[in-house]
Amino acid sequence: MPAKRLLLVFGGRSSEHEISLRSATEVLAALDHARFTPVLLGIRRDGGWRTGSSDTPLAGIISDGEPVHDLRALAPDLVFPVLHGPHGEDGSFQGLLEVLGLPYVGSGVLASALCMDKALIKHVLHHQDPPVAVVPWIELHADALETLHERQRIVDRAHAELGFPCFVKPANQGSSVGVSKAGDHDELIHALQLAARYDSKILIEKAVDAREVELSILGNGDDATIVSGLGEIGLPPGEWYDYDNKYLKDTATLQIPANLPPELAARMQAMALRAYRIAGCKGLARVDFLIDRPSMEPYLNEINTMPGFTSISMYPKLLGHMGIGYTEVLTKLCELALTHHAERQRLSVTR
């Protein structure tokens, strides 16, 4: 069969723009070109669309590529949106692809939006029967920071319900952008103001003395869905997994497999798959856990529907440990996307 035209989308109107370029560069290099002919679409920070030759550095396409005014003009058979963060991983771009009737890799509109919103996914998981354990949290709107009285009320509530230290996060961001650890009143105010730069909805979470553990899921949620073993992120004492430790410093280590009791690992794999199905995810996700060191109780921290995709990122490394190579993962994701799209196309749109 002739190779399918795979539209690789990267960049985006997001603070994770550069991370998307890094992920997409390695996806492009590892793609099975006998099965998929890459077509490139770079999204600039101002929202403009650009295209160019597949032998052009992706940053060059973003800056100097040919303008694109209609995605359909690129004539893709399939879309791989390697977009991280808002305006790409949050269901907005997926909605465009749904309207155009194009198959695409990854979760749909609802699952993408739900998993991107750290507050909503906590609500959904916490209110299952039985609940999926999540870290205790408070959420607020950035408007609440406008007066001294409201700021003090928030700080008092956080101190009483969660204690110090605590973590503050914008609800709709990834890669720990805008996330801070607050150890007292003043640090909490500063952390809230930082988070408000990135989203109007803010979370304050209880700080857990935690081991950070992740796993990968590959599949559409059916019985053939693959759940990897667990990998653990190691950091020096006193450090936490912020943006710098993820991408700028060389301090984080990855231990695959994580040194966990087999029964705990199996329990976390079951938790992850259950949450994946509850959220309605498709194709892929990296599910992140916090394990409380004193009790060894796991909390589901996040479901990332388009995780980092460099060859050394945790998502492909965990699958690689199972013997599923990087190129094979990409091929499988494209096949899953086409299968899910075909299933959707069989649904009736008339009475």
Three-state SS string over the chain comes to CCCEEEEEEEECCCCCHHHHHHHHHHHHHHCCCCCEEEEEEEECCCCCEEECCCCCCHHHHHHHCEECCCHHHHCCCEEEECCCCCCCCCCHHHHHHHHHCCCECCCCHHHHHHHHCHHHHHHHHHCCCCCCCCCCEEEEEHHHHCCHHHHHHHHHHHHHHCCCCEEEEECCCCCCCCCEEECCHHHHHHHHHHHCCCCCEEEEEECCCEEEEEEEEECCCCCCCEEEEEEEEECCCCCCCCHHHHHHCCCCEEECCCCCCHHHHHHHHHHHHHHHHHHCCCCEEEEEEEEECCCCCEEEEEEECCCCCCCCCHHHHHHHHCCCCHHHHHHHHHHHHHHHHHHHHCCCCCC
Does residue 249 register a pLDDT over 60? Answer: no
Residue 49: per-residue pLDDT: 97
Please identify which residue in the block is written with the tokens 């679409």: 41
- For 267-308, write each residue's pLDDT tens digit: 999 999 999 999 999 999 999 999 999 999 999 999 999 999
Which sequence positions are flagged as catalytic? 16, 175, 247, 286, 288, 302, 304, 308
Mean predicted confidence (pLDDT) in 205-226: 96
CB atoms within 10 A of CB 31: 21
Q: Are 93 and 71 in contact (CB under 8 A)?
A: no
Does residue 238 register a pLDDT over 90? Answer: no
Q: Find all residues with CB under 8 Å of 36, minimum gap 6, and list them.
A: 3, 4, 5, 6, 78, 331, 334
The mean predicted confidence, pLDDT, of the chain is 93
Does residue 250 register a pLDDT over 70? Answer: no
Residue 237: per-residue pLDDT: 67
What is the second-level CATH architecture of the domain 137-206?
Answer: 2-Layer Sandwich (3.30)
The percent of residues in the chain predicted with pLDDT above 70, rounded, is 95
Residue 15: per-residue pLDDT: 83
- Asked if the domains at 115-133+208-342 and 137-206 fall in one CATH topology, the answer is no
Mean predicted confidence (pLDDT) in 54-70: 95
The Cα–Cα gap between 343 and 182 comes to 47
The Cα–Cα gap between 27 and 8 comes to 9
- For 314-349, write each residue's pLDDT tens digit: 999 999 999 999 999 999 999 999 999 999 999 888
Residue 85: per-residue pLDDT: 86
Position 14 confidence tier, pLDDT thresholds 50, 70, 90: confident
Lowest-confidence segment of 33-47, 50-64, 165-179, 207-221 by average pLDDT: 165-179
Ranges of each domain in the chain: 4-104, 115-133+208-342, 137-206
What topology is assigned to 4-104 in CATH? Answer: Rossmann fold (3.40.50)
What topology is assigned to 115-133+208-342 in CATH? Answer: D-amino Acid Aminotransferase; Chain A, domain 1 (3.30.470)
